[in-house]
Amino acid sequence: MVKPKHAFALIFLVLLIDQLSKYYVKTHFYMGEELIPFSSADWFRLHFVENEGMAYGWKLGGSWGKIALTVFRMIAVAFGTYYLLSIIKKNYHRGYIWCVAFIYAGALGNLIDSMFYGMVFEFSDVYEQNMARSFWMEGFRGGYESFLHGRVVDMLYFPIIQDGRFPDWLPIWGGDAFEFFRPVFNVADASITGGVIALLMFQNRFFPSEPQSQEAPTN
């Protein structure tokens, strides 16, 4: 049986890793800066970008789109809190509860960025190549946006295939260069994606179908 304190301990751990990694990159990298931590593994990189929208760079247009997305995240997290407590109380399969907890933690991590980062961090300028300061650091010049308009910090980049090309016979993209995996993401995105993939992979184990009763044949 999964207890609420165990689920929220997992959520706190994911949030802690997510927010610490974002804070470090935001205050130690200039926009667009890239670092290869291990020279023997250039397929793993830290690449600082900011995302105004959803996971993996998807976004809605304009200021109102940004507000709508942040409000939607707030509603989703509020519902997620109720739902997570509900399935724990009903003693759902522990694997299902852990998956929901990972998805919830990721949604909450990106919501924090959207709500507060515009107020607590300086603007990250790609041209001046300056590192942004936070409001508790000396010399803070003010936030770059207002409440609900913060940008999500992304930094995890895995260009496993860097110089690939589509086959010439492929329609539309034939012969074009491609890269896998192109999107830059963060720990919160990974938590959401991992939770969803695990749900899809193990749904039959989480929700086993009840055996159908067979009626006795009638003469």
Structurally, how many domains does the chain consist of? 1
Select the more confidently predicted residue: 174 or 50. 50
Whether residue 218 lies inside any domain: the answer is: no
Whether residue 216 lies inside any domain: the answer is: no
Residue range(s) defining the domain that contains residue 52 = 4-206
Mean pLDDT for the stretch of residues 50-54: 74
Return the closest-CA partner of residue 150 out of 110, 113, 102.
Answer: 113
Q: What are the contacts of 72-76 at 24+ separation with CB within 8 A?
A: 73/107, 73/110, 73/111, 73/114, 74/111, 74/115, 76/107
Beta bridge partners of 46: 35, 156
End-to-end CA distance of the chain: 47
Q: Report pTM.
A: 0.86
Find tokens 């016979």 and name the residue: 169
Whether residue 129 lies inside any domain: the answer is: yes
Find the helix packing angle between 4-28 and 187-206, rounded to 10°: 150
Whether residue 62 lies inside any domain: the answer is: yes
168 noted as active-site residue: no
Per the residue annotation, which of 18, 42, 154, 168 is the catalytic one? 154
Whether residue 26 lies inside any domain: the answer is: yes
Mean of the per-residue pLDDT values of the chain: 88
Per the residue annotation, which of 18, 125, 176, 189 is the catalytic one? 189
pLDDT single digits (tens) 23-46: 999 999 999 999 999 988 899 999
Whether residue 153 lies inside any domain: the answer is: yes
Select the more confidently predicted residue: 211 or 68. 68
**Lowest mean pLDDT across 22-31, 56-65, 136-145:** 56-65
189 noted as active-site residue: yes
Whether residue 219 lies inside any domain: the answer is: no
| pLDDT value at residue 55 | 54
Whether residue 213 lies inside any domain: the answer is: no
Return the closest-CA partner of residue 134 out of 17, 16, 49, 28.
Answer: 28
- DSSP conformation letters of 75-114: HHHHHHHHHHHHHHHTT--HHHHHHHHHHHHHHHHHHHHH
Return the closest-CA partner of residue 163 out of 186, 179, 145.
Answer: 179
Find the helix packing angle between 187-206 and 94-120, rounded to 10°: 160
Sheet holding 45-51, edge to edge: 34-35, 45-51, 152-157, 184-185
